[in-house]
Amino acid sequence: MGHESSLIASQHRWSPHLRGHLLLFDRRPAPAHSPNAGLRLLLAGGVVEAVRLAAVRWLYPGTPLWLLMPTLLGLGLLVVPGIAGVKLSQLGFRPWRDWTTTEKSYFCQVIGIANVVFPIVLAAPLRNRIAQAGMAWSLWNVFVPYLFFGFYQELVYRGMVQSELVRRWGAPIGIFVANVLYTFGPLHWYYFASRATLAVPMLASIFVIGLFFGVLYERSGNLWIVAVFHAIGNAYIVWSVGPML
């Protein structure tokens, strides 16, 4: 009780427009699904990832990314209630009207900053990509699909995997294990075939960023926030370097 009181007091010392940057979100109740539903949630995440790996191997590049990525995300959104019997709102896909002022302000601030910073920092490689392929083609075939793919990654590894591991083992262990699976699992296996000078810094960066998203999701309970943030960063970065599957 004392910890909760001190947390509330610390929150009220800051403006709601600053609290998000300090990860001072209102506490959300733990997922209400049963242990059996949680086990099915993990199974659903494994099924979707297996389908993704098969689709990349057998359908890509014959199937364009603008079709493949949204289809995978749609599958993920369907299996949560379909296989696990868990509502998407239980994973943190709450409607905008239910967001707190802190959530709304933090979300809008970061989206605005990201859409200024990424184009400036990545200006040179983005210009090269656009010069090679054209603005319309690269937007539709790289930027837009990887928006969906970033969203997909958060749905599976934070929404399905982390939420259940945290429910079972608590936040520190659940976040850490989910992030290990996210970083070193099938999403980023291709780095193990790369030279160490590329693989080590990339995997380290992915782990750190993933850890931040994991903590942000745990603190906010809002899967929209981490999914959209990941989607935007994913789209800009891949747009600047080319598709990575």
How far is the CA of 179 from the CAs of 14, 57, 223, in angstroms? 30, 24, 15
Residues 6+ apart with CB under 8 A from 222: 25, 28, 92, 94, 99, 103
The backbone torsions φ and ψ at residue 170, rounded to the nearest 5 degrees and listed phi first, read 95, 165
Domain count, the chain: 1
- Average pLDDT of the segment spanning 77-91: 94
Local confidence band at 24 (pLDDT 50, 70, 90 cut-offs)? very high
Q: Residue 31: pLDDT above 70? A: no
Q: Percent of the chain having pLDDT more than 70?
A: 93
| HEC sequence for 137-167 | HHHHHHHHHHHHHHHHHHHHHHHHHHHHHHH
pLDDT of amino acid 194: 86
The 10 Å Cβ neighbour count of residue 134 is 12
pLDDT tens digits along 174-225:
999 999 999 999 999 888 888 888 899 999 999 999 999 999 999 999 999 9
pLDDT of amino acid 151: 97
User: CA-CA distance, 35 to 41, in Å (whole number)?
Assistant: 10
Q: Which residue has the higher pLDDT, 35 or 104?
A: 104
Start-to-end CA span in the chain (Å): 47
pLDDT of amino acid 202: 92
**Across the chain, what does the average pLDDT equal?**
91
Quote the domain boundaries for residue 151: 2-11+20-241
Burial class from Cβ neighbours inside 10 Å (0-12, 13-18, 19+) for residue 44 reads buried
How far is the CA of 88 from the CAs of 79, 101, 156, 195, in angstroms? 10, 22, 12, 39
Q: Residue 103: pLDDT above 70? A: yes
pLDDT tens digits along 126-148:
999 899 888 999 999 999 999 99
- Average pLDDT of the segment spanning 10-26: 85
Q: Residue 125: pLDDT above 80? A: yes
Q: Residue 12: pLDDT above 60? A: yes
The answer to whether 149 and 69 have CB atoms below 8 angstroms apart is yes
3-state SS of the chain: helix, strand, coil percent to 5?
80, 0, 20
- Average pLDDT of the segment spanning 228-239: 96
72-90 burial: b if 16+ Cβ within 10 Å, else e: bbebbbebbeebbebeeeb
